[in-house]
Chain A
């Protein structure tokens, strides 16, 4: 399966130090939160896309367009029902839609999609081992760092097992589309229970395997792969930090804001 996990495209983004990638991930996500006007969030949205293009993983983003679009739409369509302030544009079923709320909804949709894209680019360019190393080098305890990286290591296997379970139940006549709500919940159980049980068993075996490889050792860990902050890392950090500062300055000066009382 190619929907998740590392994509070896060998670009300079791939070669950045994993610590740089983590900081960039935080900054670029943060920049999506500086504005709440859709045009300006759209501006900030360009940067995850730019990084995606530089890392040559746009095909991966495209593969995930449907979930991206759905999460953006859900956000864009629900916010206007919730926010009341501003000029009323029209009413649906007794709900007043204000100009500001509609714009804010659009901005939130873009923000969501942008944040997911940042995540996709990060995971497509960072190996779980490097993520683990980076977190340890950033002084996180081994165990916590490993659990975080393990989550990403396990996702691809889980997808594989999930597909197997679905095939097994479909062979037994499972039809997820038919039936009422109660029926469907029961059908969902036929997929969720085996997956959950697999997760528990797998976790047990992984723990056994990990400890057998001396994980949890009190001696201080070494890393076979070398990690250096190089000049490209400094450049990437300088670029993203200056962008963030520029965005913050814009917001400070009153640009890119629809609703002042909201993030």
Chain B
């Protein structure tokens, strides 16, 4: 366990010899796998003992059918044809994809791709299975399926090593190695490491929220579950006056209805060339100045919807209005200065030689005066905290800095609306918090913020209002607190209400963050 850049991946790449054979650098010390010195062996030889699954599922799949993908490693090892057939059948069953045998991997969902990548490694039957952030890019349903597979391999008696930056994944581990800055900071049982809130924070890992809350409330550190915490806290509240309404959480209704800045009416989108689901009759209105989250599992239509907000996609039917006028009545450039759009992957847009140059791109495209460009660019770099790095090559920035650079690039035109598609993907806990705090500041400065995400704790902590999509349809809409009360409904579409909100629900509280809950319990 460790944050981005802590050295987890490097550690994962060592046992099968990717380091030092493929990724070179300074290497000293020894790695022994089954008494074999990795540095003097070969990667393909180590691959018999050590299976490695990567975070990026697209990079791991290179065959034209599920079946051949499974066969690839075995073919390389020279396994006999009949044996390959047997293993494919066995492991396709295990990963639950028999019915997809002849499918092209490219046509699968993210979760299925990752399952296939794992299956393709597992059928080589290595005794050691290593997974480097296997669920980072996946939604909650897919994450559970991957973890179930991992558990299976462990139950079989194989060694399982999972690298992740999230603590909830580590609850069932036999042992946790906590990494920070390339070093192993601590090694121990989950109960030891996960309850050491300060150590986790120092290592830039998000502590399990329930454990952190219970510690704040003065309970002994242990692996608290939601149910345990709820029963202890219920007993504590007994005898206290629970009828008094909480005073800490402000009502999340807007006093006067604000002017709608984006209005979508009966929007349907059917993709022409791709076999991915689109949108079905979605209507919504986004008020000027609100902080809205659009959530749903992968493939629910979140990104498709958001791409209509700035005209990247045209509705198959229905209308989109920006600031009261149909989107078609704006020029491309007008839309770009009205809606700032931050994409999932900042690396898909970064191209300039310096940070300052990168940020100025939009303004140059829009034909601003040189002096204004410089002033504005520096202004937004200041806002996102990158001003000292203005002459730096963007490629040398950390992932968190590159993501903030992408936000700055979208902000530089001072758009009233900022749309962000999974802005915290791949960021560690500290960077996530930093970015979200930045968005809150921008929101308070008057920008409308629309965040697309499947990270529900972030929604709970920051968004005022939520729109939930499922299968291309809008299934829920309302103030965040209200939506998160209906745990069953969210669960039925594959979204788990975050632990703190569950606890809050079962205690009948309003707050959904640690601070809010602590304050509410103290006040009641």
Binding site for B on A (CB under 8 A): 1-2, 6, 127-130, 150, 153, 156-157, 161, 164-165, 167-175, 189-194, 197-198, 201-202, 204-226
| A159 → B minimal CB distance (Å) | 11
Tell me the bound Cα distance from A190 to B360 in angstroms.
12
Tell me the bound Cα distance from A225 to B70 in angstroms.
12
Between A and B, 23 residue pairs with Cβ closer than 8 Å are: A127-B64, A130-B64, A168-B343, A168-B348, A170-B312, A170-B332, A172-B349, A172-B361, A172-B409, A175-B365, A197-B395, A198-B347, A202-B59, A206-B59, A209-B62, A211-B43, A211-B47, A216-B76, A221-B78, A222-B74, A222-B78, A224-B67, A225-B68
Contacts A127-B64, A209-B60, A212-B47 known; A222 to B365 CB distance under 8 Å?
no
Tell me the bound Cα distance from A202 to B60 in angstroms.
10
- Pair B68/A224 contact, Cβ less than 8 Å: yes
- Pair B343/A171 contact, Cβ less than 8 Å: yes
Residue of A nearest to B102 (CB): A8
Most chain B CB within 10 A, of A2, A214, A222, is at A214
- Pair A214/B365 contact, Cβ less than 8 Å: no
Residue of A nearest to B83 (CB): A222
Residue of B nearest to A219 (CB): B78
Contacts A156-B106, A211-B44, A220-B78 known; A167 to B54 CB distance under 8 Å?
no
Which chain A residues border B395 with CB–CB below 8 Å?
Answer: 197
5 additional A-B pairs beyond A153-B62, A205-B54, A226-B81, beta carbons within 8 Å, are A164-B348, A168-B348, A211-B18, A215-B76, A218-B44
Which chain B residues border A157 with CB–CB below 8 Å?
Answer: 58, 106
| A contact face: mostly helix, strand, loop, or mixed | helix
B503 within 8 Å of A by Cβ?
A: no
- Pair A214/B73 contact, Cβ less than 8 Å: yes
- Pair A224/B85 contact, Cβ less than 8 Å: yes
- Pair B75/A224 contact, Cβ less than 8 Å: yes
Which chain A residues border B310 with CB–CB below 8 Å?
Answer: 171
B84 within 8 Å of A by Cβ?
A: yes
- Pair B336/A172 contact, Cβ less than 8 Å: yes
- Pair B343/A164 contact, Cβ less than 8 Å: yes
- Pair A172/B75 contact, Cβ less than 8 Å: no
Contacts A208-B13, A217-B44 known; A224 to B18 CB distance under 8 Å?
no
Which chain A residues border B52 with CB–CB below 8 Å?
Answer: 208, 212
Residue of A nearest to B62 (CB): A153
- Pair B84/A222 contact, Cβ less than 8 Å: yes
- Pair A150/B16 contact, Cβ less than 8 Å: no
Tell me the bound Cα distance from A129 to B347 in angstroms.
30
- Pair B413/A173 contact, Cβ less than 8 Å: yes
Contact of B365 among A172, A204, A213, A216 (CB under 8 A): A172
| B214 → A minimal CB distance (Å) | 40
Tell me the bound Cα distance from A225 to B64 in angstroms.
12
Tell me the bound Cα distance from A157 to B113 in angstroms.
14
B77 within 8 Å of A by Cβ?
A: yes
Residue of A nearest to B13 (CB): A208
Tell me the bound Cα distance from A168 to B313 in angstroms.
13
- Pair B336/A171 contact, Cβ less than 8 Å: yes
Contacts A164-B343, A169-B349, A171-B310 known; A211 to B22 CB distance under 8 Å?
yes
- Pair B54/A208 contact, Cβ less than 8 Å: yes
- Pair B71/A224 contact, Cβ less than 8 Å: yes
Which chain A residues border B347 with CB–CB below 8 Å?
Answer: 194, 197-198, 201
Tell me the bound Cα distance from A164 to B307 in angstroms.
11
Residue of A nearest to B63 (CB): A129
| B282 → A minimal CB distance (Å) | 20
Contacts A173-B333, A173-B336 known; A213 to B351 CB distance under 8 Å?
no
| A252 → B minimal CB distance (Å) | 42
Which chain A residues border B343 with CB–CB below 8 Å?
Answer: 164, 167-168, 171
- Pair B44/A175 contact, Cβ less than 8 Å: no
Most chain B CB within 10 A, of A128, A194, A209, is at A209
Most chain B CB within 10 A, of A2, A168, A213, is at A213
Contact of A207 among B22, B63, B366 (CB under 8 A): B22
Contact of A167 among B63, B121, B312 (CB under 8 A): B312
Residue of A nearest to B272 (CB): A2
Tell me the bound Cα distance from A208 to B10 in angstroms.
12
Tell me the bound Cα distance from A249 to B65 in angstroms.
43
Tell me the bound Cα distance from A6 to B6 in angstroms.
41
Which chain B residues border A173 with CB–CB below 8 Å?
Answer: 332-333, 336-337, 361-362, 365-366, 413
- Pair B65/A127 contact, Cβ less than 8 Å: yes
Contacts A156-B106, A217-B76 known; A209 to B48 CB distance under 8 Å?
no
Tell me the bound Cα distance from A193 to B130 in angstroms.
33
Which chain B residues border A169 with CB–CB below 8 Å?
Answer: 349, 361
Tell me the bound Cα distance from A61 to B126 in angstroms.
45
B449 within 8 Å of A by Cβ?
A: no
A-facing residues in B377-431 (Cβ within 8 Å)? 395, 409-410, 413
| B106 → A minimal CB distance (Å) | 6
Which chain B residues border A226 with CB–CB below 8 Å?
Answer: 81
Which chain A residues border B466 with CB–CB below 8 Å?
Answer: none
B230 within 8 Å of A by Cβ?
A: no
Residue of B nearest to A167 (CB): B312
Which chain B residues border A168 with CB–CB below 8 Å?
Answer: 341, 343, 348-349
B56 within 8 Å of A by Cβ?
A: yes
Which chain B residues border A207 with CB–CB below 8 Å?
Answer: 22
Most chain B CB within 10 A, of A156, A165, A189, is at A165
Tell me the bound Cα distance from A223 to B273 in angstroms.
33
Contact of A214 among B22, B62, B76, B361 (CB under 8 A): B76
